Structure 1
């Protein structure tokens, strides 16, 4: 209904009804909450926790550089875990099972369905056995081997007489033969290896790459230098994000 003032105005001075309706629609649009799916897109996709597995005669402290790089990428300490273990024991009889128990605990603590595993040297055999024979194919998403003696290394003969882990690393050992029989990279796990043609521990150098994995040469680096090399770190982090 028009007021007395409005009735006294010429019709040309009254607001057009379509314009009023458009203005009302615009106000409703601006005040409406964002759709739930749009808000969801703004949230970062959840990451897998990362479990680091060190090599022979080492300890979790070797992962300092890579852990720092992952934290710089946005990981928190609550997403980064280091498995510490006695490296002089059997891969298949002892260590792979202990790693499996550790991964299960990480999954319980974080609520994650799967983890990513990053292993150096001897840790590659321990974690591969867990994946291939210990149920890890269902719980590991990405698996990374840095300078792993995946087909054995001749340098392990130097300590094989008195050390079980060294025997496990020798070419043709029970562990090496079984890991490389059939499918070298089984299951839905995504596999990657990083290797150096100047590795003084893993001989021959091409012991590291695996059929079915993303195999990356890192240039001329010493065995332990892969742990702190910027290029290797960038490659590992890109693979974990894939």
Structure 2
């Protein structure tokens, strides 16, 4: 039985890691960012709010955004990203610590960005856990006064079953306790966890913030994918395949490389100048 639950643990961790697989992690992590995290950047009149990017589980501030951050910089945005939820001694992958603590790290980083850019508010774009965790900041840590919009790519807004894997945890004594003690950022994301219950009690949204959720029917990590959608005012839920039926992006690629998803995210950041998102957006 001990061997079995260890095997289960490995399976769960591998599935969660798909939330944001590092791209050439060792080399990319040491490379300088291209045009973002420039704290001398001042938002323009066209894009008056800096954009804070929030990575997913088992990812970091650089690897998760190697494509999307330059995409926004090229469009005139001040763009910032940061590492959160790293366990003691870890320097490469984050999103593993208690999500409430990670939300406080987002709060601190947002304050730093606002102070540097002299902006009144930021916009947040997050992938996977990075699309869900900011909702805790908005709801419990005063973030609603500092955030204009939250754009979430494949977020686990109501937790995940990992395609049913979490349902077998009770059959492996000690597995859930081990995960909770050593990888709380994972157990907080399980559908029905105490964290999820607190986050979603009383409604999905808070007043004054615009929410956009971009999901894919091929998501194999946040399952079922329909649980990613939010309910409430100022919410726009969109499924990627309704924008481009032949888009095959799953949980990882929707946040890492999918320019159709990126185009829709850019629309959410600047709705006054939004253009139609379709299959041709992959080339824009």
> TM class by shorter-chain length?
0.7 to 0.9
Please list the CA deviations of residues 60-107 of structure 1 after superposition, one character each: whole Å capped at 9, or x if unmatched: 1211211122122122xxx11002121211112x11111101100110
Q: 1:66 aligns with which of 51, 65, 68?
A: 68
Please list the CA deviations of residues 117-152 of structure 1 after superposition, one character each: whole Å capped at 9, or x if unmatched: 001111123211001111000000010111111111
Answer whether contact 1:91 1:125 (CA < 8 A) is retained. no
The structure richer in helix per residue is 1
Please list the CA deviations of residues 32-70 of structure 1 after superposition, one character each: whole Å capped at 9, or x if unmatched: xxxxxxxxxxx8445200000000000112112111221
Q: 1:112 aligns with which of 107, 115, 119?
A: 119
Larger Rg: 1
Aligned residue number for residue 36 of structure 1: none
Q: 1:221 aligns with which of 236, 245, 249?
A: 249
**Residue segments in structure 1 that go unaligned for 5+ positions in a row:** 1-42
How is 1:149-160 mapped onto 2 (pairs within 5 angstroms)? 149-155=156-162, 157=166, 160=176
Answer whether contact 1:124 1:148 (CA < 8 A) is retained. yes
SS at match of 1:98: helix
Aligned residue number for residue 143 of structure 1: 150
Distance 1:46 1:217, change over 3 A: closer
Number of equivalenced pairs = 196
SS at match of 1:154: coil
How is 1:31-46 mapped onto 2 (pairs within 5 angstroms)? 44-46=45-47
User: Which portions of structure 1, spanning 4 or more consecutive aligned residues, are displaced by more than 3 angstroms?
Assistant: 43-46, 156-161
**Residue segments in structure 2 that go unaligned for 5+ positions in a row:** 1-43, 87-94, 170-174, 242-247, 272-284
Distance in 1, matches of 2:192 and 2:131, equals 16
TM-score (norm 1): 0.77
TM-score (norm 2): 0.66
Answer whether contact 1:121 1:147 (CA < 8 A) is retained. yes
SS at match of 1:178: helix
1:121 maps to 2:128: yes
